[in-house]
């Protein structure tokens, strides 16, 4: 979550950690479970879909020239490019 001054003005939080703590500490018991906030089937499905490509990236572990090896992987497995926004936790496809 990106920190905004509105958090300071509205709830008195000075950083992301305080905002998260505020959120967790102020959740009320209700009839809603965590499934209300997160579509776990979708998360697990998306994770499974990316798992093979993530394992392809394991090839890079311990390589001396990781940039060159990454280029090799991109040529051999171009589908791994879709992992970049996922690994950077970015929803936009433009960098």
Q: In sequence order, what are the residues at sequence separation of 6 or more whose Cβ sits closer than 8 angstroms to the Cβ of residue 76?
A: none
Q: Looking at the predicted structure, is the pLDDT value of residue 93 above 70? A: no
Question: Are 16 and 62 in a shared domain?
Answer: no
Question: Are 26 and 38 in a shared domain?
Answer: no
The model's confidence at residue 92, banded by pLDDT at 50, 70 and 90, is: low
The parent domain of residue 43 ranges over 31-95
Helices and strands (H, E) in the chain, number of each type: 6, 0
Q: Looking at the predicted structure, is the pLDDT value of residue 91 above 80? A: no
Question: Are 86 and 40 in a shared domain?
Answer: yes
Question: Are 10 and 43 in a shared domain?
Answer: no
**Residues 26, 10, 90, 64: is their CA dihedral positive or negative?**
negative
Q: Which residue has the higher pLDDT, 83 or 2?
A: 83
**How many domains, the chain?**
2
Encoded tokens for 53: 């490509």
Q: Looking at the predicted structure, is the pLDDT value of residue 29 above 80? A: no
Question: Are 26 and 62 in a shared domain?
Answer: no
Encoded tokens for 61: 């572990």
pLDDT at 2: 73
Compute the average pLDDT of residues 86-95: 71
Question: Are 16 and 45 in a shared domain?
Answer: no
């Amino acid at each position: 979550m990106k920190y905004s001054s509105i958090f300071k003005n509205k709830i008195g939080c000075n950083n992301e950690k305080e905002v998260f703590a505020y959120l967790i500490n102020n959740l009320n018991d209700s009839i809603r479970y965590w499934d209300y906030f997160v579509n776990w089937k979708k998360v697990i499905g998306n994770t499974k879909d990316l798992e093979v490509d993530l394992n392809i990236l394991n090839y890079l572990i311990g390589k001396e020239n990781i940039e060159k090896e990454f280029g090799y992987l991109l040529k051999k497995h171009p589908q791994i490019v879709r992992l970049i926004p996922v690994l950077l936790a970015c929803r936009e496809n433009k960098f």
